[in-house]
Amino acid sequence: MDITQEVLQVLDSVLSLKGRSASFKRGTPLLGAVPELDSMAVASLITALETRFELTVNDDDIDGATFATVGALVDFVSAHRTH
> Helix, strand or coil for residue 69?
strand
Give the global pTM.
0.93
Which class for 70: exposed (0-12), middle (13-18), buried (19 or more C-beta within 10 A)? buried
- Could you state, in order of their start, the residue ranges of all structural domains in the chain? 3-16+25-80
Q: Which fold has domain 3-16+25-80?
A: 1.10.1200
| Helices of type H across 2-69 | 3-15, 39-53
CA 49, CA 55: separation in Å to the nearest integer? 7
pLDDT in tens, the chain (83 residues): 699 999 999 999 999 999 999 999 999 999 999 999 998 999 999 999 999 999 988 889 889 899 999 999 999 999 988 65
